[in-house]
Amino acid sequence: MAKLRQKNPRAVRQAEEVRGLEHLHMDIAVNFSQGGLLSPHIHNVCAEAADSIYARQEDVRFWLEQGVDSSVFEALPKASEQQLLPRCGQLGDGRRPCVCRYGLSLAWYPCLLKYCHSRDRPAPYKCGIRSCQKSYSFDFYVPQRQLCLWDEEPRGR
C-alpha cells in the first residue's frame, strides 16, 4: 500500500494529456426505484434523482444481455427527435419539453502507465502513471424546463 501513496498529496496536479470533449445523448430513462438492479451504487450516487435517471441505448443493450428486465427502461425521444426541441437554457416557458445539457469535466485522473527511457536500460521501463483530463457533455430529454434549472445558456446563442 505504501507504493500507492502520493509523495505530495497537497500538490495541484496538471493533466499530461487532454482528451477531447465527448458528447453523449441519453435516450433512455431508467426507473430510479429499480436502478439497484443495474448497480448497487445508483441510489447513493444519484440520490437527488426524483423519478428516473438516464442512460444510452448502448448501455441498455449491455444490461439486457446481463438479464435485466426490459420494464426497467423507458425510451425517450431519439437524438434526431431531440434536435428538433430547444435547449432548456434557451427556453423562457418552464412547462415545455426541452433538451437538458449537463457538463462534467474530470481535471485529473490516472489513465495510462508512463514509460521512461534511460541510457542505462536498452528498453523503456514503467516509471509511473500518466494523467489525463476528460470532459463530457450529456444531453437528455426533460418534459419541462423546470427539471433542468442548471442549464443556463445565454439567450440568443
Phi, psi of 72 (to 5 degrees): -70, -25
Residue 84 burial class via C-beta count within 10 angstroms: exposed 0-12, middle 13-18, buried 19 and up: exposed
pLDDT (tens, 9 = 90+) of the chain, 157 residues, equals 455 566 777 777 788 999 999 999 999 999 888 888 898 898 888 888 777 789 999 999 999 999 999 999 999 887 778 788 999 988 877 788 999 999 999 998 889 888 988 888 889 998 888 899 999 999 999 988 888 888 875 544 4
Alpha-carbon distance of 126 to 55, in angstroms, equals: 37
Q: Could you tell me which residues are beta bridge partners of residue 130? A: 112
Residue 58: C-alpha distances to residues 9, 20, 61, 84 (Å):
37, 21, 5, 22
* Residue 68, helix vs strand vs coil: coil
Angle at CA of residue 49, ends 43 and 55, nearest 5°:
85
CB 98 within 8 A of CB 91: yes
Q: What is the pTM of this model?
A: 0.75
